[in-house]
Amino acid sequence: MQEALGVIETLGFTTAMEAADASVKAANVNFGEWLKVGGGKVNVIFRGDIAAVKAAVEAGTEAAARVGEVVSSQVIASPHADMEQMI
């Protein structure tokens, strides 16, 4: 079974750390990686089953918004296999 993919994009590393911490505490997801996008933006990536990823992204987004700026968040339920090459 392919895992869902969740992404939270924040402005600043501290906000990204808060998102990651809250996300992995809220649901049974695997922390994927940090991606420095540029302009101070940082993406936090998670993988797991769809329900867990949705819960993690929601919790992480809410926690990050309390300490900084969340630019965007997204859950992809069934990412194409080629997505791995892009990340």
Q: 31-62: per-residue pLDDT in tens? A: 989 999 999 999 999 999 999 999 999 999 99
Determine how β-strand 41-48 pairs with β-strand 4-11: antiparallel
CATH topology for the 4-86 domain: Alpha-Beta Plaits (3.30.70)
In whole angstroms, give the CA distance from residue 31 to residue 54: 14
| Region of residue 12 (phi > 0: left; psi between -120 and 50: alpha; otherwise: beta) | left
Residue 8 near residue 76, CB atoms below 8 Å: no
Confidence of residue 78 (pLDDT cuts 50, 70, 90): confident
Beta-bridged to residue 8, according to DSSP, are 44, 73
Q: Single out the residue of 19, 13, 14 nearest to residue 31, CA to CA.
A: 19
Looking at the chain, the whole-number percentage of residues with pLDDT higher than 90 is: 83
Instruction: State yes or no: pLDDT of 81 exceeds 80.
Output: no
Q: Domain spans of the chain? A: 4-86
